[in-house]
Amino acid sequence: MSKLPVHKPVDWRHAGLNILVLTSFCGIGFWLGGSNGVLFAAALFLFLSASLRALLASHHRKGVVLCKSGNFADAIDEFKRSLAFFERHAWIDQYRGITMLSSGHSYIEMALVSIGFSYVQLNQREQARNYYQTCLKSFPTSHKAIAALHYLDSTEKASTEEEIHG
């Protein structure tokens, strides 16, 4: 496996929803079965959380695995599949704190940034730039897209200066 770092951001609004759902599960569990009901409810929450993310974000997860193994071309295909799914079902991504019991950032944002990153790794900088700019149109505060564009700008400037000064 590659030593590429994988950053797992937390969207605290969705984390709050997760806590609210878990608390509701546990409250209902306690009401129905006392302390055993709470344990069952917590286990059910964890099972649903893992299952929903495995099912609904399967292409995203495959893309991450492919990226970590250095297979960026196939990773792009998986991230594009993930992007298409979440664009078709935007409500799942928008309410992911409830629909997927996920506290991470938008899967659409993560797909766009991941596609851009993969294109950078394949030295297809203009394709990467297009995806980062697309990301910023929908997510103007995307720190990853902003940082990636700064990186592209600075490395292009450095390579141009190197060519000039040789």
Q: pLDDT for 5-33, tens place per residue? A: 555 566 776 777 778 888 888 888 889 88
Higher pLDDT, 3 or 153: 153
CATH number of the domain within which 103 lies: 1.25.40.10
Q: Is residue 112 part of a domain?
A: yes
What three-state secondary structure class fits 27? helix
pLDDT at residue number 102: 80
DSSP state of 95: T
Higher pLDDT, 158 or 52: 52
Task: Round to whole Å and give the CA distance between 82 and 14.
Answer: 20
Q: Is residue 15 part of a domain?
A: no
Q: What is the pTM of this model?
A: 0.79
Query: Which ranges of the chain would DSSP assign to H, the alpha helix?
Result: 12-56, 58-68, 72-88, 90-94, 96-99, 107-121, 125-138, 143-165
Task: Please tell me the total count of domains within the chain.
Answer: 1
Range of the domain at 152: 55-165
Q: Is residue 31 part of a domain?
A: no
Q: At what angle do helices 72-88 and 58-68 cross, to 10 degrees?
A: 160
Asked whether residue 160 carries a pLDDT value surpassing 60, the answer given is no
